[in-house]
Amino acid sequence: MNDHARHEHHDFLNAVGQALADPPLQAALTRLTDTLLAGNRRAYAALAESDALRDHAKRIKEHTLAHLDQYLEQLEASVSRLGGHVHWATTAEDARRIVLEIAQNAGCKRVVKSKSMTTEEVHLNPAMEAAGLEVTETDFGEFIIQLAGERPSHLVAPAVHHTRESIARLLSEYTGDAMPDDPASLAQTGRRLLRDKFARADMGISGANFAVAETGTIVLVSNEGNARLTTTCPRVHVALMGIEKVIPRLIDLPVFLKLLARAATGQTLSVYTTLITGPRRPGEQDGPEEFHLVLLDNGRSRVLASPFRESLQCIRCGACLNACPVYRRIGGHAYGGVYSGPIGSILTPLYDSLSANPHLPHASSLCGACLTACPVKINIPHMLIGLRELQTRGKAKKSVLERLGYGLSAAVLRRPWLYQLALRAARMLLRPLARDGWLKRLPGPGSAWTTTRDFPAPAARSFRERWIELNK
């Protein structure tokens, strides 16, 4: 089993059923995604020439990915010049080993982490805990799901599936004191618990939203102060980032900063934007003594060389999740992987395997809402179709029924007279069964459609017939 394939036996359809039958989850998803999506639309509308800015961001990403090797080497040189250490991790296993070695060499015992999907991707926490380290997630949402032993269910709001009652219960179990479930008390409790962890930690682990090749600067974007505390309080800071997060120059950064918060939450800028350029220098008041940057491949080079390269442009804003009619109903856990929503439906099959995640490319209506919401205009629907095509090509043999169906439709579509005849036959057969323009039940293979939704009844007159009439 490869490292991405922790959820090889994930039963997508079963998980979808469970999510749909969970009213509190449905209410939480609607509340969150409605709010974030409205923010995204408002922010794009208020930003002058937002469309041109998004095109510009895309061009920077395209250019960077086309010269990724050069920019990564430049980043390594810049970080090393500042006194930092750069490590290359080909696989998730490499990344875990490297981080553990850094901890062991520096004699670290207590680790605080700021929110990082990349550390989730490599399953860092279980490895560190197994090695005897105390690991604490310090983003409040991440802390909650760590207590619950779960995975994040949204890129930006990892604990969206929790209510304040469930958060109070988890904190009560953790502290041994009964907690009231009002948000202010819960936040105060979280702050008190986490401040203590920061004060005692000797290692801080973060991700990186961006890394600037030119200057060796690591950029962290967050709404809680935890990322700053994580990267400045402990004496060792390790940043783990996917190799696609590099950007060429500092001047490119504002383009992404302008888009990221707007796309994610509708904010003009996140509350904290932290730029870290090397470890603490002589005379500085704070900052770590050691800084390590771990550059993770874990399948990205393979994706770079594939027709799915565009997926590497993702800046993990979560906007496509909020816009997607499928994610909005089923939430993040149903997807089974670390990444969820439309972009997760591409990343999980690519990084893990398509055969282990056969449902994901189909977890989309291809409505294009993700593309509209995406700050770098990633053509997610196009890539989902590409994955579907791979699945079909990969099939050794089609069933007799499939071959018959495709043969029949090809024969009909090639002959206009036969197509019209088939339409008339369908109209004659189906219209009497329709009610208010909809068919509630279709026979044979069509029943798979009508078990979950109605099917539109054929029109009384076809477009062609109406066109001929109009021309008369």
Q: How far apart are CA 19 and CA 8, in angstroms?
A: 19
Q: Which is nearer to ligand SF4, 84 or 158 (CB)?
A: 158
Q: What are the phi and psi torsion angles at 211 (to 5°)?
A: -135, 130
How near is the Cβ of 236 to ligand SF4 at its closest, in Å?
A: 30
**Residue 276 identity:** I
Alpha helices in 149-219 (DSSP H): 164-175, 183-200
Q: How far apart are CA 60 and CA 422, in angstroms?
A: 51
Q: Which is nearer to ligand SF4, 1 or 45 (CB)?
A: 45
How near is the Cβ of 26 to ligand SF4 at its closest, in Å?
A: 22
Q: Which distant-in-sequence residues (6+ apart) come within 8 Å of 93 by Cβ?
A: 3
Asked whether position 343 contacts ligand SF4 by CB under 6 A, the answer is yes
- Sign of CA pseudo-dihedral 446, 447, 451, 457: positive
360, 349 contact by CB (below 8 A): yes
Q: Which is nearer to ligand SF4, 186 or 347 (CB)?
A: 347
Asked whether position 32 contacts ligand SF4 by CB under 6 A, the answer is no
CA neighbor of 21 nearest in space, from 435, 425, 329 = 329
Asked whether position 316 contacts ligand SF4 by CB under 6 A, the answer is yes
Position among 75, 127, 315, 360 found at the interface with ligand SF4 (CB under 6 A): 315
| Residue burial 359-386, b: 16+ Cβ < 10 Å; e: rest | bbbebbeeeebbbebbbbbbebbebbeb
Q: Which is nearer to ligand SF4, 94 or 310 (CB)?
A: 310
SS3 of residue 211 by DSSP: strand
Asked whether position 318 contacts ligand SF4 by CB under 6 A, the answer is yes
Q: Which stretch binds ligand SF4 (CB under 6 A): 47-55, 221-229, 318-326, 443-451?
A: 318-326
Q: How far apart are CA 329 and CA 22, in angstroms?
A: 10
Q: Which is nearer to ligand SF4, 170 or 378 (CB)?
A: 378
CA neighbor of 50 nearest in space, from 420, 374, 382, 436 = 374
How near is the Cβ of 195 to ligand SF4 at its closest, in Å?
A: 31
Question: x/- contact string, 364-403, with ligand SF4 (CB under 6 A)?
Answer: ---------xxxx-x-------------------------
Question: x/- contact string, 246-285, with ligand SF4 (CB under 6 A)?
Answer: -----------------x----------------------
Asked whether position 319 contacts ligand SF4 by CB under 6 A, the answer is yes
Asked whether position 324 contacts ligand SF4 by CB under 6 A, the answer is no
Asked whether position 314 contacts ligand SF4 by CB under 6 A, the answer is yes
Residues making contact with ligand SF4 (CB under 6 A): 155, 263, 314-320, 343, 373-376, 378
